[in-house]
Structure 1
Amino acid sequence: MSGTDSAADVRTLVVDDEQEVADAYALRLRDHCDIETAYSGEAALSAVEDSSIDIVLLDRHMPGLSGDDVLSELVDRDYYGRVVMVTAVDPGIEVLDMPFDDYLCKPVDREDIRAVIDQQRRILAYETLGEYFSAEAKRAVLEAELGTEKRREHGKYTDVAERAERLERRVRRLLADDDVLDQFDAIDREEV
């Protein structure tokens, strides 16, 4: 993806109890991003649990588990991604206490839904990049300063190394410009 500004690799979940609405949004996003659909709150939570979803487009008004309930459950599960409410429910003062990242009122046209995916992908990419830099800096300095045997003795080192690898894969998938990763890698963190 280097050198492009595309959402092609972002994994998006469209959640709406009206199947034709969810499918219409999925159709608008076809060839723009990797898209899944869920037609209930329960199915949405299952999809997020079973795969690495980057962005959730979430309807608020659904029978059973409402979009508000799904949003609350995502927070409780430490969901690491972006949530955009896409709904016909007019926002009220209660939205001030809701932990979503954007709010679109239906109907949403093709350009707007694609634009919000692009925007949220970039935000998530840079958030993930910051976390990657932190984990990778710790891993790199310990690798430079401690021998292999000493590093193996500490589970925390293994945890941070694995976390850095996961974050790097996600950043490379989401971030259009790999140059910032190359610049980070070029910094010498070893003792002189």
Structure 2
Amino acid sequence: MDSTNPERPDGSENRPNVLVVDDEREVADAYALRLKGLSDTETVYDGESALAHVEENPVDILLLDRHMPGPSGDEVLEVLTDRGFGGRIIMVTAIDPGFDVLDMPFDDYLCKPLEREDIRAAVDQQRLVLGYETLGDYFAAESTRAILRSELPADRRDSHSEYQAIERRTERLKRRATRLLDDPERLFEVFDGIDREGR
């Protein structure tokens, strides 16, 4: 497994976590190199390792080769879907797409060979999509947390398991949105400035 930890070109220290999965090591390593400066990128070289990595580590964007010896990229995609994987999946493959892709729950499909700028653009686009999806989830959870915080005393909140769960969820979502988006602080400030308690 190889890892790179560069800064994004905009100078941000926050980057998406990308996992590249390809059974051709030189191809996977080349993609990781092409993403240098854009993401924190790790590589694995088979489907089993990909599933294990996703189980144990936060992954925002997965670059997944379709044609690999057992399990194939298609099978990895199916397992991740069944597990409720919360990231974005880009199929990266030499297999020309057919009508079979209509039922495959990927987020983008890139055909090899890939130019450096194409893979960077695809990853950056999925970063933004996931970032705004995460931001929407955060706002929904945080509005619930905020109104309960304003209406209920601390001792009742502290002893309520569901309230504690939503506190943990909002913090997790906020951290992810901050990692994925370039300037989420302004959006957080606007959200926090809304009076939800009424007059």
| TM-score category, normalised to shorter length | over 0.9
- Could you tell me which residue of structure 2 aligns to residue 49 of structure 1? 55
- Residue 194 of structure 2 is aligned to residue 187 of structure 1: yes
| Residue number among 141, 165, 176 corresponding to 2:182 in the alignment | 176
How many residue pairs match? The answer is 190
Residue 72 (str. 1) matches residue 99 (str. 2): no
Cα offset, 1:177, TM superposition: 1.6
Letter in 2 for 1:60: R
1:15-164 correspondence to structure 2 within 5 Å: 15-164=21-170
By how many angstroms is 1:31 displaced?
2.1
2:18 aligns to what SS in structure 1?
strand
Aligned-pair identity in percent equals 58
Higher RCO structure, 1 or 2 (CA under 8 Å, sep 6+) = 1
Equivalent pair of 1:135/1:163 in contact (CA under 8 Å): yes
Flag as ranges the 4+ runs of structure 1 deviating above 4 A.
4-8
Q: 1:7–1:77: structure 2 CA closer, same or farther, 3 Å change rule? A: farther
| TM superposition shift of 1:37 | 0.2
Pick closer, same or farther for the CA change 1:65–1:7 going to 2, 3 Å.
farther
Which whole-Å CA distance do the structure 1 matches of 2:79 and 2:44 have between them?
16
1:77 Cα shift? 1.1
- Return the TM-score normalized by structure 2: 0.91
| Structure 2 gaps, min length 5 | 1-6
**1:158-179 deviation line (CA, Å, top 9, x unaligned):** 1111100000010011111221
Give 5+ residue unaligned stretches, structure 1. none
Question: RMSD over aligned Cα, in angstroms?
Answer: 1.6
- Whole-Å Cα distance in 2 between the matches of residues 5 and 176 of structure 1? 10
DSSP 3-state at the match of 1:26: helix
